[in-house]
Every structure is written in C-alpha cells, then in structure tokens.
Amino acid sequence: MSAEKILGEWKKGRFKPIYWLEGDEPYFIDMLVDYAEHNILPESEAGFNLTIFYGRDADWAAVVNACRRYPMFAERSVVLLKEAQHMRDIDKLEPYIENPLNSTVFVVSYKEKKIDARTKFAKLLKQNAEVFTTKKIYDNQLPEWASNMVQQHGLTISQKALQLLVDHIGNDLSRIQNEIEKLAVNLGSRKNITEDDIETYIGVSKEFNVFELQDAMVRKDLAKAIRIIQYFEANPKAAPIQMMLPALYNFFSKVYMIFGVQGDEKTLATAIGVNPYFIKDYIAAAKNYAYEGVERILLLLHEYNLRSVGVNNAGAEDSSLMKEMVVKMMR
C-alpha cells in the first residue's frame, strides 16, 4: 500500500493496529507520522490517548505498556515510535506484534533501513501489520514529482524554472516541498513560477548554474563555460564541485544512451528517461561530440571526481579542476 493510500484510509477513519514504515526515503515516512500525530485523534482526545516515543531513549516495556493501554474517553489511542532504527532490543516488541490491541494505532518510523526479512520479527510484521517500504525517487523522476507538488499548491511552473529548482536542490523531497511552499507565499496572487522567481526566492542564479554550464558544454561554448565556473569560484556555495560533477555525469550518461536507440524525439526521450521538452539538448550533445567524444567526457568526469576528493591531485582548487576538465572535454 502506498503512502497516499494509507493516508486515504486514515482520512476515512479506517485503521489497522500496526503500521511499520521503513526504507530509504524519509519524506513519505515523515508525512504519515506527522498526520498520525496531529490528525488521527482530535485535540480533545490527544492529551490522554497520544503517546510518543523516540527509539534512542525508548524502553521496549514502556512501549508495549502504552500499546496495551485502553483508550480513555475515546474510540482509540495512538502510539508513535519515532526513529525506531536506533532502538535497542526492538525485537522484544514481538509479543505485542503477535497479538496487538485493536483499539491502538501503533505507528513505527524505521528510517534509512529495512528490517531483515529473514527474522521472526519481520515475518510477524508481514502477518499482523501494514508494512510500508519507501525507496528514493530516481533523479529522472524528480521533475515530475516536483511538478505535481507545484500543481497541488494551485500553481504552474515553466520547464526551465522547474529544472533550475530540481537541479539546485537535488533528491531532497522535503526541501523541494518547503521551497515550493515558500514560492507559493511570495507569489501573492500570481500563479506561475518563473526563472526569476527561482532566482529571487530560492537564490539560484538563472545565468550561473549547473544547468547553464551544461548548456554551454552542449554548444561547445568554452567562453561561457569559463565565465560560469569563475562565478562558482567567487560564490563557492552556489554550485560546489561535488554537486556539479554528478549532474554533468547524469546528463552525459543519458547522451551516451542515445547512440544505442533509434526513433523520433519522443521515442528517444522515453528510452533515456528524460522530459521530452529537453530531449533536443541531449540530441545536440550527441551530434556535437559524437560517440568517442561523449565516451571521453564520461571518463574525464570519473577522473576529475577522484581528483576532487584528493586522488592524484597536487592541491589544485576546485575551480581550477573544473576549468581544466571542461577545456579537455571541448578540445
């Protein structure tokens, strides 16, 4: 069951005794736990019937006792175990998992890992609990996810503004949501998010960013690429090399895939997993560099990624590494 379906069931007043929320993507786990904490019980009932534990400090016996306690002046009680991945002796919850109380909604947040499926504990969870396992969204899915979040706020966003937003923040769903909420507040009566809005309210330069550097490289515009790198040199927080290299690798690895695909632009976009709006950039890069050139770029990105962390690097600054790498790529 997805996070949205669990939330939908809760909103209809349908609850299971145990919800085990685990996995690599904290956003969906936090969303469910936050709803459970603030919305399952009305405020008048929460004082007596809501209990919250944190895994690092939680005693398993206290957790079980809270779960076995009958609700006071209410239909149900809610017990939250946050950060359960840090709890000692969590397997001692087994007796309660085996025989839970129907009037208790026990929600466990087990972030950044999964319970070992081979254990008796995991098998009991599978039998008696709703187990929700999250996975990180792939980078190529981020623009669509962010676009849907924008729509949920009753807004629209230009494709380039969307790309700027996603490229700047990366795979951090909570931060993307927070920035969209900030934009919604600052737009006032306007409904469309532009590149200027991203620059003004999020602090991403619409002229000097990884997206524009990538564009300069596609067109083999060395002068523009160097200007952008110099801007990064003067503003180190704008685009650190550890952010730029993975972004460029992601782009050129998809360009590399084009050489193995035949078809029109829509077919190519689907095959390499990008928004059709941007496929012309990938096609242009493939034409301007050819197979051997793109292969060389990928090898250089790997080499300079190692140098950026000190391997075979005699103390060169990040900006010097970037300039040297870009010159070699366009040569």
Q: What is the pLDDT of residues 193-221, one digit of tens each?
A: 999 999 999 888 888 888 899 999 999 99
Domain with CATH 1.20.272.10 in the chain: 210-330
Per-residue pLDDT at 53:
96
CA distance 307 to 326: 14
Domain 139-202 -> CATH class = mainly alpha
Burial class (CB in 10 A: 0-12, 13-18, 19+), 171: middle
| CATH fit for domain 3-134, picks 3.40.50.300, 3.30.70.20, 1.10.1740.10, 3.40.50.2300 | 3.40.50.300
Answer whether 252's CB lies under 8 Å from 294's CB: yes
Per DSSP, the residues of 75-140 read S-EEEEEETGGG-TTGGGGHHHHHS--TTEEEEEEEETS---TTSHHHHHHHHHSEEEEE-PPPGG
Domain 210-330 -> CATH class = mainly alpha
What are the pLDDT digits (tens) for 75-102? 999 999 999 999 989 999 999 999 999 9
Integer distance in angstroms from the first to the last C-alpha of the chain?
Answer: 52
Answer whether 229's CB lies under 8 Å from 325's CB: no
The model's pTM: 0.74
Which stretches of the chain drop beneath a pLDDT of 70? none
CA distance 1 to 133: 9
Per-residue pLDDT at 207:
84
Per-residue pLDDT at 110:
95
Determine phi and psi for 107, rounding to 5 degrees: -115, 120
Per-residue pLDDT at 312:
79
Answer whether 150's CB lies under 8 Å from 38's CB: no
Per-residue pLDDT at 153:
93
What are the pLDDT digits (tens) for 28-53? 999 999 999 999 999 999 999 999 99
Domain with CATH 3.40.50.300 in the chain: 3-134
